[in-house]
Amino acid sequence: MQYELQLNGKTHSVEAEPGTPLLWVIRDELKLTGTKFGCGVASCGSCTIHLDGEPVRSCQTFIEDVGGSEVTTIEGLESREAKAVQQAWVELDVVQCGYCQSGQVMSAVGLLKENPRPSAAEIDDYMWGNACRCATYQRIRAGIQRASEIMEA
C-alpha cells in the first residue's frame, strides 16, 4: 500500500503493508534512525515520536492509523522545549549508552509543553514509561528541571 506521511514538515510517500508499525516505516523505509527499537511492545519508550505534538510509541502506532497527522521524530525537533531539553542534556551529561535517549528527549519535550514547571513527582509520573537500562534517571529528572529553568530565562 502507498501512504502519504506528513513527517518533520515534509510529505513522504511510503510503501508499506497495513499493520506495519510506524517505527519500521521511519527506520527502514525513511532511514531516520534516531527513533529506536527497544521492545516492540510499548514497554520501553525508545521509539517515542510525536503525533500532532503528542508523544506516542511508534512501535504500536500503525501506518494505516496515521492519516494526515503530523509526525515528528527526534530529527525534526525544533521547538523551544526541544532546544532547552537538548541543551540541558549536554550541560548535565545525561546520557550513558544513549540508545533510549531519543525517546527520553521526545517524552521530556512532551512533558514540558504540557507542564513547563513540573515537580519531581510529576516528572516521575510522566516519564515512567521511558526505560533506561543504564539508569540515567537522576540526570533525566535533573535535566528536565534544568530545561525548565532554561525556558524561563
Which stretches of the chain bind other proteins, using CB under 8 A?
Answer: 17, 20-21, 24, 27-29, 31-41, 43-44, 46, 73-75, 77, 85-86, 89-90, 93-102, 105, 120, 123-125, 127-128, 130-141
d(CA 35, CA 108): 15
In angstroms, give the least distance from the CB of 143 to other proteins. Answer: 9
Measured from the CB atom, is 131 or 151 closer to other proteins?
Answer: 131
Q: What's the rounded Cα separation, in Å, for the pair 44 and 38?
A: 6
Q: Which residue has the cell 528536565?
A: 144
Of the pair 4, 90, the CB lying nearest other proteins is at 90
Nearer to other proteins, 6 or 14 (CB): 14
Considering the complex, state which of residue 40 and residue 116 has its C-beta at the smaller distance from other proteins: 40
Between CA 7 and CA 132 the distance in angstroms is 26
Which residues lie across from 49 on neighbouring strands? 56
- Tally of helices (H runs) and strands (E runs) in the chain: 6, 5
Nearest by Cα to 108 from 88, 90, 91, 93: 88
Closest approach of other proteins to the CB of residue 20, in Å: 5
Q: Nearest approach, Cβ of 151 to other proteins (angstroms)?
A: 16
Q: At its nearest, how many Å lie between other proteins and the CB of residue 119?
A: 12
